Chains A and B, each alone.
Chain A
């Protein structure tokens, strides 16, 4: 049952990304092109996604467990770490260069051509390497 819900949520997420234009890399780059031909419409996508989640967090706050069991994830401590800032900055650079963030990169795998596949493989490789690279850098300093 948990798997089935996860499958449905993933499918809904994928179709949402697709129909809202988040997999259209030119549109995403247009939304980031604040100093050029700015296309602000994707702000409504983010806003529209935040709304149901705001309600969901309200509902979740009154429960101790999820409906299928398991704890509701606690808020992480509010610490702003250098990793958060540097990581998000790096992510923004990659997002701007390509127009793809992780969700849409997966949602568009079936129609993104070889270009989408190259991006996806590079992204996965970096995800695998990140813990080791960070540990090595920490040892070096």
Chain B
């Protein structure tokens, strides 16, 4: 489903399905005109479809931490990092790797290694998460 969504968005609209780029371009105002309204429609679907699922089929599992400091630090890292790197799991990972983009593959290696090291340090060593 994720890959099909990305394929439809590319072939129909000529857009890369990157979650951080679509959201970031809207919140920082760098996406304008048609690109902005398309991004808004996409985000509405992305938030709205799971909302409908939630209403009719119950809440899906998620176990986000209640540690506010961790939540804020994580959100800041994800927001800043994905905009600096120009992409996240969907843009660099799904759309980048599938076209054998060197940047996409490099980014994916970096965030996977950083994520694994973070879990190692904060879960196995410090026991915070």
Seen from chain A, the residues whose Cβ lies within 8 Å of a Cβ on chain B are 2-20, 22-27, 29, 32-36, 45-46, 48-57, 59-60, 65-73, 75-76, 78-80, 83-103, 105-113, 115-116, 118-131, 133-134
Contact = CB atoms under 8 A, between A and B. Distances in A.
Contacts of B62: 23-26, 108, 111-112, 116
B6 A49 contact: yes
Contacts of B51: 109-110
Given A13-B6, A91-B88, A101-B89, A96 B20 contact: no
A138 B33 CA distance: 29
Nearest to A59: B11
A87 B27 contact: no
Chain A binding surface SS class: helix
Nearest to A5: B12
A80 B103 contact: yes
Contacts of A118: 68, 71-72, 75
Nearest to A38: B116
B38 A3 contact: yes
Contacts of A51: 3, 98
Chain B binding surface SS class: helix
Contacts of A29: 119, 123, 129
A66 B14 contact: yes
B11 A91 contact: no
Contact of A25 (B43, B64, B80): B64
B45 A111 contact: no
A75 to B, nearest CB: 6
B14 A71 contact: yes
Contact of B103 (A12, A76, A113): A76
Interface string B6-31: 11111111111101100110011010
Nearest to B58: A111
Contacts of A108: 50, 60, 62
Contacts of B45: 6-14
Interface core residue of B34, B37, B42 (most chain A CB under 10 Å): B42
